[in-house]
Amino acid sequence: MKTIEDLKRLREELKTKNNLRHEGGTQIIVGMGTCGIAAGARQVMTAVLEEVAKRKLEDVKVCQTGCIGMCEKEVLLDVVRPGEPRITYGRVTPADVPKIIAEHVVNGRIIAELAVGKITE
Amino acid sequence: MEHIRAHVLICAGTGCVSSGSKKVEAAFQTELVKKGLDKEVKIIETGCHGFCEMGPLVIIYPEGTFYVRVQEADVADLVETHLYKGRIVERLLYKEPISHESIPSYNEISFYKKQMRYVLANCGHINPEEINEYITEGGYEALGKAITQMKPDQVVEEVKKSGLRGRGGGGFPTGMKWGFTAGAAGTKKYVVCNADEGDPGAFMDRSVLEGDPHRIIEGMAICGYAIGADEGYVYVRAEYPLAIKRLRVAIQQAEELGLLGENILGSGFNFKLKIKEGAGAFVCGEETALLASIEGKRGMPRPRPPFPAISGLWGKPTNINNVETFANVPQIITKGADWYASIGTERSKGTKVFALTGRINNTGLAEVPMGITMREIIYDIGGGIQGGKKFKAVQIGGPSGGCLPENKLDLSVDYDSLIQAGAMMGSGGLVVMDETTCMVDVAKFFLNFTQAESCGKCTPCREGTKRMLEILTRITEGEGREGDIELLESMAKNIKTTALCGLGQTAPNPVLSTLHYFRDEYEAHIKEKRCPAGACNNLLQYAIIDSCKGCGLCKKVCPAEAISGEKKEKHEIDLIKCIKCGACFGKCPFKSIVKS
């Protein structure tokens, strides 16, 4: 590095690398209860990770959760954007993932036909 | 490209490594591959979290779940349950000692709740061997700001205004010290970091060096710019191999990125850094002895003045600060002196890192704001005394410090209050003692240490500490004489005023402070030949009382064949044969053996 600008640029490039260790950012939560796994949650998870990587969404946190009781509608996938309600999508397949990420995670548009619940905190 | 969805932080500080964290890490590597998660979960080795009592420590993000005492055998479960299914593994969570409640998150644990972690912010949070992780957390921003936007005297002024005082013991205002060296005549100047941490029970400097070495490099470079030095030395003891290794890696990475070396960030400022390994003599923590040691001479102090600020390393103006002092510098530059000065008390600003050891539940490192009470540190953060025993005293400041009794627990912890109470901040070692500790024995322990570490150059320290130690030994062996206390006091005062360096001048402190607060214990030893704490072997007698059932266990375990008696009848101890090893005392199931 030759100048202070180089340091700033490096910092900017690295900025998101430790996001996982800080609070904040959009969360995508996959239901990984026994019911969810049986319904294909792991495949959905893999699809989410691939899509997030493809779009370089480095401030997105991909988390898991256990069974929330709506086993009928598994695989369940929640999207929580900061300051917005938690939206639950049901019967999600790997094929739905790119759409959910493009529409909701990136652009903030809830996909009504896939959504099965909304939790306002 | 893959998306990393989880970070597994494994503590690789000296404490956790010795409790097996390297094996845990290897197990994670294999398990993740086995489960096919190795592309989405990243393992990060970190420095010390400070909660060494509970190691090996593992933290899994994004949830921030804090797992304690993780063993190799637990890893499969953690990978399957937490990383694959997203469920917390309850049995590995930390349980509060009093409520027995399991606590999943790092910040909710009472050990951390009362802490204010600024100097230790990165310790346990980043990989110390990866400069990019430091930069991600804002590292080297302060150096960049100082050398491109500030003039050297502005940097000195900012440090002065912050109120930062030396964290190595004396508490001298850091900005003022920098000002002296900056103002000294000469073009060649040096920055030296004193990492010769030698107080028994102190390990905060080691942990910062191991957990966040770039912070020290940055602090030293800022100092170099402020005082006009282009070269620095870190004097670190050879007993800290991991700290030396990480520091070496850090210096190399900083050089590769151009953050050390010639014309740093195009500012025209040059700074290079070298490591000097010390051979472990305690006296080398004294600044003039330390400088002699860097120069390749025998580590012995010399009279001051001239102070190192005027004539230091190879006769050139030199600024010496301790590790923790340098670690405080970057945040003062980025967040400002006013922010820094808003923490702490009127004359002691900022935070202080303490190493908690002794008979305390939560052994470890705690960073707290100045002005907190000793009670909060020991009971709220430290979790109180082991085994529910009664608190007796806390030794603060190492061999130069003193012991504070229970009625000083609510004292504000800052430089001036501690001095007033007969102790000192020192480097920040806190050794907690319970009712079974004999205070004369404690004084003897510390004097034994300073006596052995005395370099022998000046008579008061070389001869004086030796004679004092002899008297203390005599007292603990039941041969104390009338007048010993007065003799100790007068010798202590003489050594304090006449010894050459800090080591000798402060060596009598443990004796003086225990004499001040626990004089009755000394008197009991001398006049009644009795050790009230039951710790001094020569003053002890074991006896069997009437509740003895005659089981014969004590007789079997006695190595000196000093116990006799028939089965089912009361046994007897032959006091002449008894070697006072205490084996029978520990073995008796009926508590029929007593110490007196």
Catalogue all structural domains in chain B, each as residue range(s) with its CATH number.
6-109 (3.40.30.10), 131-341 (3.40.50.11540), 351-434 (3.10.20.600), 439-527 (1.20.1440.230), 541-595 (3.30.70.20)
H-helix or E-strand spanning residue B374: helix B374-375
Highest mean pLDDT of the ranges A30-44, A55-69, B305-319? B305-319
Written as six digits, the tokens of B16 are 């956790």
Q: How confident is the model at residue B1 (pLDDT cuts 50, 70, 90)?
A: low
B228 pLDDT more than 70: yes
Question: Considering only CB atoms, which chain B residues are within 8 Å of A6?
Answer: 258, 265
Nearest residue of A to residue B264, measured between CA atoms: A2
Question: Considering only CB atoms, which chain B residues are within 8 Å of A10?
Answer: 132, 135
A120 pLDDT more than 80: no
Question: Considering only CB atoms, which chain B residues are within 8 Å of A52?
Answer: 3
B2 pLDDT more than 80: no
What is the rounded distance in angstroms from the CA atom of residue B366 to the CA atom of residue B76?
32
A121 pLDDT more than 70: no
What is the rounded distance in angstroms from the CA atom of residue B209 to the CA atom of residue B17?
15
Please state the separation of Cα B215 from the chain's center in Å. 18
**Nearest residue, CB atoms, A53 vs list B2, B144, B258:** B2
Q: Averaged over B316-327, what is the pLDDT?
A: 97
Q: In this structure, what is the dihedral angle of CA atoms A110, A113, A114, A117, given to the nearest 10 degrees?
A: 70
Q: Quick check: B132 and A14 CB within 8 A? A: yes
What is the rounded distance in angstroms from the CA atom of residue B439 to the CA atom of residue B468?
15
Cα-trace Rg, chain A: 16
Query: Which DSSP state fits B477?
Result: T
**pLDDT tens, position by position, B460-496:** 999 999 999 999 999 999 999 999 999 999 999 999 9
The answer to whether residue B138 neighbours chain A at the CB level (below 8 Å) is yes
What is the rounded distance in angstroms from the CA atom of residue B455 to the CA atom of residue B302?
11
Q: Quick check: A66 and B4 CB within 8 A? A: no
The answer to whether residue B107 neighbours chain A at the CB level (below 8 Å) is no
Q: Give me chain B's average pLDDT, please.
A: 93
Q: Quick check: B87 and A6 CB within 8 A? A: no
Count other C-beta atoms under 10 Å from residue B42's C-beta.
17
The CA–CA distances, whole Å, from A35 to A62, A73, B14 equal 19, 9, 43
Lowest mean pLDDT among B136-145, B432-441, B576-585: B576-585
**Nearest residue, CB atoms, B258 vs list A2, A32, A66:** A2
Predicted local confidence at residue B78, as pLDDT: 96
Predicted local confidence at residue A40, as pLDDT: 93
Report ipTM (2 d.p.): 0.90
The CA–CA distances, whole Å, from B25 to B20, B70, B207 equal 9, 10, 20
**pLDDT tens, position by position, A30-48:** 999 989 999 999 999 999 9
Nearest residue of A to residue B3, measured between CA atoms: A53
* Residue with the larger pLDDT of the pair B50 and B369: B369
Q: Quick check: B133 and A54 CB within 8 A? A: no
A70 pLDDT more than 80: yes
Please return the burial class of B575, using the count of CB atoms within 10 Å of its CB with bins 0-12, 13-18 and 19+.
exposed
What is the rounded distance in angstroms from the CA atom of residue A43 to the CA atom of residue B518?
70
The answer to whether residue B119 neighbours chain A at the CB level (below 8 Å) is no
Q: Quick check: A14 and B135 CB within 8 A? A: yes
**pLDDT tens, position by position, B83-136:** 999 899 999 999 887 778 888 887 788 888 889 999 999 999 999 999 999 999
What is the rounded distance in angstroms from the CA atom of residue B542 to the CA atom of residue B341?
57
Q: How confident is the model at residue A21 (pLDDT cuts 50, 70, 90)?
A: confident
Q: How confident is the model at residue B327 (pLDDT cuts 50, 70, 90)?
A: very high
Q: Quick check: B141 and A32 CB within 8 A? A: no
Cα-trace Rg, chain B: 27
Q: Quick check: B86 and A3 CB within 8 A? A: no
Please return the burial class of B298, using the count of CB atoms within 10 Å of its CB with bins 0-12, 13-18 and 19+.
exposed
* Residue with the larger pLDDT of the pair B261 and B96: B261
**pLDDT tens, position by position, B126-182:** 999 999 999 999 999 999 999 999 999 999 999 999 999 999 878 999 999 999 999
Distance from CA of B309 to the nearest CA of A (A): 31
Q: Quick check: B86 and A64 CB within 8 A? A: yes
CB B353 within 8 A of CB B365: yes
What is the rounded distance in angstroms from the CA atom of residue B576 to the CA atom of residue B255?
69
CB B8 within 8 A of CB B60: yes
B580 pLDDT more than 90: no
Q: Under an 8 Å CB criterion, which residues of A touch B?
A: 1-4, 6-8, 10-11, 14-15, 17-18, 20-21, 27, 30, 32-33, 37, 42, 49-50, 52-54, 56-57, 60-66
Predicted local confidence at residue A43, as pLDDT: 94
CB B389 within 8 A of CB B436: yes
Q: Quick check: A18 and B136 CB within 8 A? A: yes
The answer to whether residue B255 neighbours chain A at the CB level (below 8 Å) is no
Predicted local confidence at residue B162, as pLDDT: 97
Rounded to a whole number, what is the distance in angstroms from the first to the last CA of chain A? 45
**Nearest residue, CB atoms, A1 vs list B1, B136, B258:** B258
Rounded to two decimals, what is the model's pTM?
Answer: 0.90
Nearest residue of A to residue B2, measured between CA atoms: A53
Predicted local confidence at residue B584, as pLDDT: 92
Query: Which DSSP state fits B559?
Result: T
| Type of residue found at A79 | V
* Residue-wise DSSP of chain A: --SHHHHHHHHHHHTTTTGGGSS-S-EEEEE-SHHHHHTTHHHHHHHHHHHHHHTT-TT-EEEEE---S-GGGPSPEEEE-TTS-EEEE-S--GGGHHHHIIIIIIT----TTTEEEEE--
The CA–CA distances, whole Å, from B542 to A6, B76, B197, B398 equal 74, 51, 41, 33
Predicted local confidence at residue B100, as pLDDT: 80
**Nearest residue, CB atoms, A3 vs list B140, B257, B266:** B266
B520 pLDDT more than 90: yes
Question: Considering only CB atoms, which chain A residues are within 8 Å of B43?
Answer: none
Residue with tokens 């890192």: B353
Q: Which of A13, A18, A19 to mutate to test the interface with B (most CBs of B within 10 A)?
A: A18
Distance from CA of A32 to the nearest CA of B (A): 5
H-helix or E-strand spanning residue B365: strand B364-369
